[in-house]
Chain A
């Protein structure tokens, strides 16, 4: 079978991804370009004995990169030896911004790449008051022009058939301004085989990866010799091309009144209003927050129950033994711990795709940029940060929608500081234990502390963004210039594809890591180094002969946990956590809650022989746990284990620490790098440790 690499190239928002979805159906995968956090979307299409490998390049306005995304575009197109070097470029345009697409098209052709031209969104031509003389345009571009509507699929068949054609010969129309002619002649000596325009591109690129060090030095030398800068060259090329195209298109494109813009202007009078606009956005945020926080709860409960039912059923069916326990407690519970996040992910991404599809997201960036920019973030960071207050997992995933890679990375690194719902059970238990009841200025003190912890989450997210912004270098200056699209009805197919892609990506990408860590934790908690673990029953029977029935069972469980690997690790780390005011039992809680923060409460219940199914929302059970924890003494200090100082220290530790393996897994998947994942884990744990240490030492 013949093979052909096809690259979709065009401005942002012209419908490349919609076309890509049409062409590849669901035969696609999303990953990262090697070494950078730029989303790579590729897929395949088989048609008439040819296998097309299709790449959806990031949206770009020029071949001169100002961001990592745009760099990827230029690298892919210019690296003739790269495995993604296209055999055919499909330049995608939309009627209102035709000229911009033609500039890209010309540049690509003049680099020597075959290209065809697609005019997408033809359905909008009447509304936008545009008419085009296609015959004349075809003559101007010297290639076939395909008219498509990616929403309905109109014209896709013709486009697929056209992927096989080889476009006619192209003659460069770009006239290099006379003042650069001499410099270009010199540059040609460095690239004897290259096309004239490729040489020009090399001269005008600030930094091209495909050049050898010698060639780069040569270019720099020529630029110095003639006193020219890449910016001048880029500007002059742009001006020459636009002037020429304005003349050429005068007869080809006729513009009338743009009705879409009139409707958009009416809506924007509210949505972009300096006051009403913010009020509406706040409302939208609250709605999203409510949805991930509350609407997902019944679904999550249902998943939780189904998985524990399944585990119970399996353990009844399987012969007793470590294998059955691995299966039910390790694997089934581990998978349950992954699936449980799906409702939140699905709900959040329905909202986000809806906002992207309608064009509202661009308005959000417009409104919020001012407030997040000082921290090195972007207007779009508000969505991940806000949804991080429900759960960091969908939140980190939603950072994908931020185009600037540095701002995206920063957002992902700081989002887990937001107070997610998993921190709540720990906060409730510890606040209940160490913060006195009563009121302050008419407010419940315990409530105030809880509120303070939420504020702390926001402050630490922004503050760490501010600090990291100083350390993370960006190759490119941060610009924000973007087109605000006209409003559209959402294309539900795109929404569905997007939600599907995010959910399946999470299940497979992050799921692997979460499952692995749950199994490791299960092994640590279910095996011990000596017979105190395996023979716990006889040890407990000799130490406490009066126990029987349920009491005996929970005492054995707690004895086993103490003498499991996990227990020994808890004792092993005691010297490290002692300065924070914790004892080894709390150490066990810290380690096991690495799986997920909410595990802390359950583990403490096992350690204190209460059985692991304590329900914090049940008043009776909570009181028992509270009583048990209140009476617990720390054997190092002889004082109550949960006193004011150690309580505050524990609260701070959980506020800052990255105690959630699912988030780690998602960050790894989204950044595509263990380096950043570990840096994040390191600084979050570091801050947590320091804050807890200082608090305990000051308060004790």
Chain B
């Protein structure tokens, strides 16, 4: 199985470690919410038909929802 993927392609229940964000198209808000390189995350819920994705940022213990279009711009390593 491929190890380096984007956040949008993970399935519910999978965990990953963020490796990189596409800075040019994602605002600083994403960093503040905890999407920083090295952060461990878990996919908690996915809305059907490519709807938003709900992610647990494990270090902060918070749930963050984001659109799939933005999740595609975040690369992560499956663990």
Contacts and interface: CB of A to CB of B under 8 A. Distances in A.
Interface in A363-397: 365-367, 369-370, 373, 379
B66 interface: yes
Interface string B60-79: 11111111001000000000
A272 B45 CA distance: 7
A483 B28 contact: no
A261 B57 CA distance: 12
A100 B57 CA distance: 13
A235 B31 contact: yes
A86 B49 CA distance: 46
Interface string A247-262: 0000000010010010
A358 interface: no
A96 interface: yes
B24 to A, nearest CB: 6
A573 to B, nearest CB: 48
A66 interface: yes
Nearest to B45: A272
Sorted nearest first, the 8 A-B pairs with minimum C-beta distance are A370-B51, A238-B31, A234-B28, A484-B63, A61-B32, A481-B66, A66-B27, A274-B48
A259 to B, nearest CB: 11
B28 A64 contact: yes
Contact of B65 (A64, A229, A231, A365): A365
B50 to A, nearest CB: 7
Nearest to B28: A234
Contact of A481 (B30, B37, B47, B48): B30
A235 B65 contact: no
Contacts of B47: 272, 274, 366-367, 369-370
B36 interface: yes
A66 B29 contact: yes
Interface of B: 21, 23-24, 26-33, 36-37, 44-52, 54, 60-67, 70
Nearest to B12: A274
B38 to A, nearest CB: 10
B23 A268 contact: no
B31 A239 contact: yes
Contacts of A484: 54, 63-65
Nearest to B36: A242
Contacts of B36: 238-239, 242
A212 interface: no
Given A61-B32, A62-B32, A483 B64 contact: yes
A317 interface: no
Interface residues of A, number: 43
A369 B67 contact: yes
Contacts of A274: 46-48
Contacts of B45: 268, 272, 366
13 contacts: A61-B32, A66-B27, A66-B28, A100-B32, A235-B31, A242-B31, A365-B52, A366-B45, A366-B47, A369-B67, A479-B67, A481-B30, A481-B70
A324 interface: no
Nearest to B39: A242
Nearest to B67: A480
A370 B60 contact: no
A62 B60 CA distance: 17
Given A370-B50, A370-B51, A483 B29 contact: no
A546 interface: no
B61 A261 contact: yes
Given A61-B33, A483-B62, A231 B48 contact: no
Contacts of A373: 67
Contacts of B27: 62, 64, 66, 231, 234, 479
A630 to B, nearest CB: 49
Given A274-B48, A484-B63, 7 more contacts: A100-B33, A265-B44, A272-B47, A370-B47, A480-B67, A481-B64, A481-B65
Contacts of B61: 96, 128, 255, 258, 261
A97 interface: yes
Given A61-B33, A362-B65, A366-B54, A229 B60 contact: no
B27 to A, nearest CB: 4
Interface of A: 61-62, 64, 66, 96-97, 99-100, 103, 128, 229, 231-232, 234-235, 237-239, 242, 255, 258, 261, 264-265, 268, 272, 274, 362, 365-367, 369-370, 373, 379, 479-486
A244 B63 CA distance: 23
B63 A232 contact: no
A334 to B, nearest CB: 45
A234 B24 CA distance: 11
Nearest to B24: A231
A482 B64 contact: yes
B63 A99 contact: no
Contacts of B32: 61-62, 100, 103, 238
Contacts of A64: 27-29
B24 A229 contact: yes
B29 A370 contact: no
Nearest to A64: B28
A479 B29 contact: yes
Contacts of B44: 265, 268
A103 B44 CA distance: 27
A379 B54 CA distance: 14
A686 to B, nearest CB: 33
B28 A235 contact: yes
Nearest to A104: B32
Contacts of A128: 61
A485 B63 CA distance: 7
A99 B60 contact: yes
Contacts of A242: 31, 36
Nearest to A229: B24
Contact of A483 (B21, B24, B63, B67): B63
Contacts of B31: 235, 238-239, 242
A479 B52 CA distance: 11
Contacts of B51: 366-367, 369-370
B33 A483 contact: yes
A446 B27 CA distance: 53
A370 B48 contact: yes
Nearest to A261: B61
Contacts of A367: 47, 51
Contacts of B29: 61-62, 64, 66, 479, 481
Contacts of B49: 370
Contacts of B50: 370
A452 B22 CA distance: 46
B29 to A, nearest CB: 5
A396 B5 CA distance: 42
Nearest to B30: A481
A238 B28 contact: yes
Nearest to A204: B28
